[in-house]
Chains A and B, each alone.
Chain A
C-alpha cells in the first residue's frame, strides 16, 4: 500500500492491520526522518504503542522507475504482493505546481503499474477522487469519464491516472477497483485529522482573523479591526461582514475518514470483479449551514451565504477580497452542483450498515474542537 505516510493512507493501513492483513508499506525518508520513524509517529498518533507487526515498512521511492529498489529487492517485493492499494497522491490544486502534481499522480502511477505487471499482484486498488468527473454537471456515474474539462490540475491528473490504471490493468489481466471519495475530513467521533485544508481552511482563516483582532481589541487597539470592518461585542463575539457566494442547490460533499476506511474495506472485500465506486455523501452540506455552525461554535457573526444571482457586482470589502483570495481555489467545491451517483457503492455498503453521517453541528464541533486542541497545526 502506497501513501501510508498520508492521512488516508495511515488510516487504511491501520484498518487493514486490524483486519489481520499483512501490509507492506513503501515509504521515503523526509525532513531527516527515516521511513520507520515517520510510520511509527503516525501509528502513535492513531493511538497505537507501536507499528503493528503485520505492517512491514520498505524504504522505497515511487519517484523512481525502479521504486528506488535494487533489482533483487524489486523482484523479492514483487513475489510477496497479492494486491496493491495505491493511495499516494499529491492533493495540491495549483496550476503552477503542475509538474510536481503530474509527476506524483500520473508518472509515479506508471512506475507502480510496471511493478504490478511484473509482480504476482492480481488486484489493483486505486484511490482516486469523485472530482475526476471534471466539469460535468448533474449526475456523475460510477464509470470512467470521457472529459477533458477540469476545474484544476488535481482533478485532471486523477482522471488521467484512472484511465492509465484501467488501460494497464486491463492489458495485464489485473482486476481494478477505483475508489472515488469526495472531500474527506477528520474522524467523525474524535475529529482527529492531520491536515487543515479543504473544509477546514476557510474556517481557519476566519478564526485566525477573529483571534488576531480580538487580541488587538483587548489591547485597546480599536483602529486595526476597524480597518477591516470587524467589530466585537462586549462578550467577544466578532462581527465580520463577509458575503460568501453560494449556489442555491449545491453544497460541499463531505465524508469522514472513518466512513471512508469502512467503505473502502467493504468494497475491497466484496467487489471481487473490480469496479468504480463513489464514496460520497448523499447529503451535500450547504455553505449556509456551515456558516451557521461557525456562528454558533466560534461566535462569529456577519458571515452570510449569498446566492450567486444575488451576489452584488459592486465592490467587495477588504475582508471579502481577502477571504476570496485565500479560498479562491476551494470556491468550486463550496458550491458544487455535481451529483455523484453512488448506487454501486451503496449496494455493497448499505447491507453492511455502512452509512455516511450527515455533517451536522455535532460533528462540526468535534472536528473544530480537535483543530483547536492542536492549534490548527499538523499534530505531528
Chain B
C-alpha cells in the first residue's frame, strides 16, 4: 500500500511542519495531556511524535510496524492537540491524527499486517533494566528521536530508545552502554532542536523521571532530570516561590547543563551556577558524582572552548526565590533601541525590578497575538503607528513600578496590557490607528495614546474581552479561546513571564534559529554592531531576521542578546542559506568578541552551563 495515496499532501505538509518544541508534552493550558502519551510518555505517543510518524509513513521511511499501529490506535481524537498546538503555532494537528487513523484503517482493511520488529540482545538487556514497557527498537518509536528542525543535522535513526524510571536505572543504562561500546545520548523530555542528540546507539529519554521535592525551609527544590520548567514553576508557585526557568517544555536540569539557563529573570536570579545548590551527575563511564564534592570534576569552572557536558544529570537541588504579593508587570515603550538598552541597564544597576527584558516589535506582538496574521497587524500598529520600536518589559513590586513611573513619561501597566491583549483585534481594525497616524506631535505617538485621559477612549475602542480576542480565531476554537482568556492569568504579565507559555509563538510562522551572545550593555554600540552584522549576513542570504530580546545581567554590567533568524526547516533552499550563513556568523561573533570585553558566544558556554557566571562574563 502506497501511503502517498492515502495521506493527502496537505496533511503531509502539516505533519512535516512540527517544530519539535515539545509544548504538547506539558499541560500548559489545562486541556490535559494527550491521553495515551500520559500513560506511555515516549515522544512517539505525543502529538509531536504522531506528526513525525505521519511524515515518516508518508515518505515511506518506515513500515507500518506494530508500534505504529498501537500509537495510531491509541489516539482518542480528543482534540487536545489542536487546542495546544494552535495556541502556540497556529497549526491543527487533529487533521493529521484523523488522517493517520484513516490510513491505518485502510491498511488493515486491505489485509495489511503490522510488522513485528524482533528483539535483539541489547534490547533484551535494556528491558531488563527498565522493564518490558520502557525500551524499544521499533522504528515507529525510534523515528520520533531521529530528527529535529535543525536542518544541518539528522535524520539519524537510533538503535534503541529507553525511558529509565529512576537514577539507578539511568546509571545502569550508561554503564551498560559504556561497557558494550554503544553510543548513548540523553534527551530531556525527548526534545531536541539543535541537532545535538542524534545517535545510532541508545537514546535515553528521561521523561519518566519527574519527581519534584520542594524544600521551602531552604528555598530549594530537588528535581529529577525529566522535570520541565513549567512543572517546576507550577509546583514552586503553589508554595509561594518562583524559580528561574526558561522555555516551559524544556527540562530544568538539561537547560542548566546546556546553556546555564537564562531568561528575563536572570536579571536578578542570575545564570549558570546561580541556579543550583548541588547537582548529581553520571559521567559517560557510569561514575556518579556530586558537583559539591571536593574531589568531583569542577563543573563550576569555565573554559572558552567547546567542551563536552560533565555527564547526565541525575538530580539537582535548585534555588527557589521568594515572591511578594504586589508584583505586577510593566512595559516601558521606546522609540529607539539605544534608549531602551540604556534604560534597562539603568534599572538593573539600581536594582529596580525583577525580570527585565528588552523586546523588539516582533517579539511583543507575537507574544500577545493568538494568530500570526493578528501578530503582523499588531506589530504594524505598535511599531509603525504607535512608534514603539521596542519595549522594556519589567516585573516588579509596587516600589519598583513607582520608581519606573518617575523615570519615564509613560508605561503600559498591567491593566493597559490586559486591555491591549484582549482587544487586539479591535486595535488593528479601528479608526484609532488612523487618528494616531495623523497625529503631529513632538512626543512619540505612544505617549499620547497611553496618557491617562486616553485610557477610557482606548478601552472604548478596544472593547477588551475574551470574546473580542476570540473573534480573531477560527469558529470551532472560538469557544475554547473565550474560556481560556477568562482566566485572569492568561493576561497577567507576571504569570506569562514566569511560565513563558507564549515563547514558542516566536516560531509560529517559521522555525527560529536563536543566536545567543553575552554582551556588555555599555557602550550600546557593541550590541548595535553585532545586530547590524547579524542583519547584514541575513540580508546577504535572504534570510528573515529580527532582534529577539536582551536581558541585563549582574546589575547591568552584562546582558544576553538573542538575535533570531527564521527559516522554513522543511525547505532545502533555506537549509542551504543557513549552512552558508553559519560560518560567517561564527567568524563575525568571534571577531567582535576579540575586540570587546564581555562578548562571548553561547556556543562556548554550551555544556558548561553549571559554570559560575563570573567565570564566563568577565574573562
Interchain CB contact under 8 A, B434 and A325: no
Residues of A within 8 A of B454 (CB): 322, 325
Contact between A224 and B456, CB atoms less than 8 A apart: yes
CB-CB contacts of B427-439 with A at 8 A, as 1s and 0s?
0000110110011
Query: How many angstroms between the C-alpha atoms of A14 and B443 in the bound complex?
Result: 37
> Nearest chain-A residue to B451 (Cβ)?
A325
Interface-forming stretch among A92-100, A250-258, A282-290?
Answer: A92-100
Q: Name, among A92, A330, A376, the residue most crowded by chain B CB atoms within 10 Å (CB to CB).
A: A376
Q: Contacts A208-B431, A326-B448, A376-B431: A224 and B459 contacting too (C-beta < 8 A)?
A: yes
CB distance from A156 to the nearest CB of B (A): 14
Cross-chain contact A94 with B438 (CB below 8 angstroms) = no
B384-412 near A? 1/0 per residue, CB < 8 Å: 00000000000000000000000000000
> Do A329 and B442 contact each other (CB < 8 Å), given the known contacts A204-B435, A208-B435, A213-B460?
yes
Shortest distance in angstroms between A367's beta carbon and chain B's nearest beta carbon?
16
CB-CB under 8 A for A96 and B442, given A208-B431, A224-B460, A376-B434: yes
B525 is an interface residue with CB less than 8 A from chain A: no
Q: Judging by beta carbons under 8 Å apart, are B453 and A325 in contact?
A: yes
- On whether the beta carbons of B439 and A228 are closer than 8 Å, the reply is no
B238 at the interface (CB under 8 A from A): no
Cβ of A95 and Cβ of B431 under 8 Å apart?
no
Q: Say yes or no: is A196 at the interface (Cβ < 8 Å to chain B).
A: yes
B125 proximal to A (CB < 8 A) = no
Counting CB contacts under 8 A, is A205 at the interface?
yes
B441 sits at the interface (CB 8 A): yes
* B474 proximal to A (CB < 8 A): no
With A204-B438, A325-B451 as contacts: A216 and B460 at CB distance below 8 Å: yes
- Asked if A318 lies at the interface with its beta carbon under 8 angstroms from chain B, I say yes
How far apart are A232's CB and chain B's nearest CB, in angstroms? 14
Q: Which residues of B contact A93 (CB under 8 A)?
A: 440
Task: Contact check, B460 vs A212: say whether CB atoms are below 8 A apart.
Answer: yes
Of chain B, the residue at the smallest CB distance from A375 is B431
| Interface pair A92/B460, CB less than 8 Å apart | no
| A37 CB within 8 Å of chain B | no
B457 interface residue per 8 A CB criterion: yes
Which A239-275 residues have C-beta < 8 A from chain B?
A: none
Q: Closest CB of chain B to A185's CB: distance in Å?
A: 15
A94-B456 contact in complex given A205-B435, A208-B435, A212-B461, C-beta closer than 8 Å: no
C-alpha gap A224/B419 in the complex (Å): 14
Query: Does A29 make an interface contact (CB < 8 A)?
Result: no
The answer to whether B457 and A322 have CB atoms under 8 Å apart is: yes
The answer, among A211, A212, A329, for a CB contact under 8 Å with B440, is A329
Q: Is A364 an interface residue (CB 8 A)?
A: no
Task: Answer whether A329 and B456 are a contact pair too, CB < 8 Å, given A204-B435, A208-B435, A212-B461.
Answer: no
A337 to B457, CA, bound (A): 33
A290 to B583, CA, bound (A): 65
Q: Is the interface of B mostly helix, strand, loop or mixed?
A: loop
| Residue contact B456 to A196, C-beta cutoff 8 Å | no
B439 A326 Cβ-Cβ under 8 A: yes
B564: min CB distance to chain A, Å: 24
The smallest C-beta distance from B21 to any residue of chain A, in angstroms, reads 33
- What residues on A are CB-neighbors of B438 within 8 Å? 196-197, 201, 204
On chain A, the residues within 8 Å of B431 by CB distance are 208, 211-212, 375-376
The residue of chain A having its C-beta at the shortest distance from the C-beta of B456 within the complex is: A227
A216 CB to closest chain B CB (Å) equals: 6
CB-nearest residue of chain B to A323: B453
Q: Does A328 contact B (CB under 8 A)?
A: yes
Name the B residues within 8 Å of A197 (CB-CB). Answer: 438, 440
| Residues of chain A lying within 8 A (CB to CB) of residue B451 | 321-322, 325
Q: Is the CB of B440 within 8 A of A330?
A: yes
In the complex, residue of chain B having the shortest beta-carbon distance to the beta carbon of A154: B440
CB distance from A337 to the nearest CB of B (A): 21
Contact A318–B439 (Cβ < 8 Å): no
Query: Is A114 in the interface zone, CB < 8 Å from B?
Result: no
Expressed in whole angstroms, the minimum distance between the Cβ of B418 and any Cβ of chain A is 17
B460 to chain A, nearest CB (A): 4
A57 contacts the other chain (CB 8 A): no
Residue of B nearest to A324 (CB): B453
CB distance from A25 to the nearest CB of B (A): 26
| Residues of chain B with a CB closer than 8 A to A318's CB | 453, 456
Contact between chains at A228 and B456 (CB < 8 Å):
yes
Q: Within the complex, what minimum Cβ distance (angstroms) separates B186 from chain A?
A: 49
Residues of A within 8 A of B453 (CB): 318, 321-322, 325
Judge whether B457 and A94 touch: CB under 8 Å: no
Chain A residues with CB under 8 A of B461: 212
A328-B453 Cα distance, complex, nearest whole Å = 15
Query: B434 contacts A209, CB within 8 Å?
Result: no
Expressed in whole angstroms, the minimum distance between the Cβ of B334 and any Cβ of chain A is: 13
A212→B456 CA distance, assembly (Å): 11
Using a CB-CB cutoff of 8 Å, which residues 156-196 of chain A contact chain B? Answer: 196
Which A residues lie within 8 Å of B456 (CB)?
224, 227-228, 318
User: What is the bound-complex CA distance between A196 and B435, given in angstroms?
Assistant: 10
Contact pick for A94, options B432, B435, B440, B460, CB 8 Å: B440
CA distance A321 to B453 in the complex (A): 7
Is the C-beta of A73 less than 8 angstroms from some C-beta in chain B?
no
Q: Identify the closest chain A residue to B447 (Cβ).
A: A325
The residues of A that contact B439 with a CB separation of less than 8 Å are 326
Which residue on B lies nearest to A319, using beta carbons? Answer: B453
Q: How far is the CA of A42 from the CA of B448 in the complex (A)?
A: 32
Q: Least Cβ distance of B444 to chain A in Å?
A: 8
Would you give the 0/1 interface string for B570-609, flagging 1 where the beta carbon is closer than 8 Å to chain A?
Answer: 0000000000000000000000000000000000000000
Q: Which residues of A contact B444 (CB under 8 A)?
A: 96
Q: Which residue of A lies closest to B454 (CB)?
A: A322
Q: Is there a chain B Cβ closer than 8 Å to A377's Cβ?
A: yes
Question: Which residue of chain B has its CB nearest to the CB of A329?
Answer: B440
Q: Which of A211, A228, A329 contacts B441 (CB 8 A)?
A: A329
Mark A343-380 against chain B: 1 for CB-CB distance below 8 A, else 0.
00000000000000000000000000000000111000
A96 to B451, CA, bound (A): 19
Which residue of the partner chain, among A211, A213, A328, A377, contacts B434 with CB atoms under 8 Å?
A377
Rounded to whole Å, the gap between the CB of A162 and the closest CB of chain B is: 22
A318→B453 CA distance, assembly (Å): 5
| Complex CA distance for A204 and B442, rounded to whole angstroms | 20
Q: Tell me which residues across on chain A come within 8 A of B432, comparing CB atoms.
A: 208
Q: Give Cα distance in the complex from A225 to B454, angstroms.
A: 13
* B440 engages A92 (CB within 8 Å): yes
Q: B436 CB to closest chain A CB, in angstroms?
A: 9
Shortest Cβ distance from A197 into chain B, in angstroms? Answer: 6
A322-B449 Cα distance, complex, nearest whole Å: 9
For residue A227, which residues in chain B have a CB less than 8 angstroms away from its CB?
Answer: 456
A321–B451 CA distance with the chains assembled, in angstroms: 10
* Chain A nearest Cβ from B191, distance in angstroms: 40
Q: State how many angstroms separate the Cβ of B443 from the closest Cβ of chain A.
A: 8
Cα distance A94–B441 in the bound complex, in angstroms: 5
Bound Cα distance from A208 to B457, whole angstroms: 10
Which chain B residues numbered 439 to 488 have a C-beta less than 8 Å away from chain A?
439-444, 448, 451, 453-454, 456-457, 459-461
Contact with A along B201-226 (1 / 0, CB 8 A): 00000000000000000000000000
**Nearest-Cβ distance from residue B423 to partner chain A, whole angstroms:** 13
- Tell me the smallest distance from the CB of B464 to a CB of chain A, in Å: 12
A residues within 8 A CB of B441?
Answer: 94, 325-326, 328-329
Nearest first, the 7 A-B pairs at minimum CB distance are: A329-B440, A227-B456, A321-B453, A224-B460, A322-B453, A318-B453, A95-B442
Of the A-B pairs whose beta carbons lie under 8 Å apart in the complex, a sample of 17, sorted by A's number, is A196-B438, A204-B435, A208-B432, A211-B431, A212-B461, A213-B460, A322-B451, A322-B454, A325-B451, A325-B453, A325-B454, A326-B439, A326-B448, A329-B441, A330-B440, A376-B434, A377-B434
Q: A residues within 8 Å of B by Cβ?
A: 92-96, 196-197, 201, 204-205, 208-209, 211-213, 216, 224-225, 227-228, 318, 321-322, 325-326, 328-330, 375-377
Known contacts A321-B453, A322-B451, then 15 further A-B pairs from the complex at CB < 8 Å, ordered by chain A residue: A93-B440, A196-B438, A212-B431, A213-B460, A228-B457, A318-B453, A318-B456, A321-B451, A325-B451, A326-B439, A328-B441, A329-B441, A330-B440, A375-B431, A376-B434
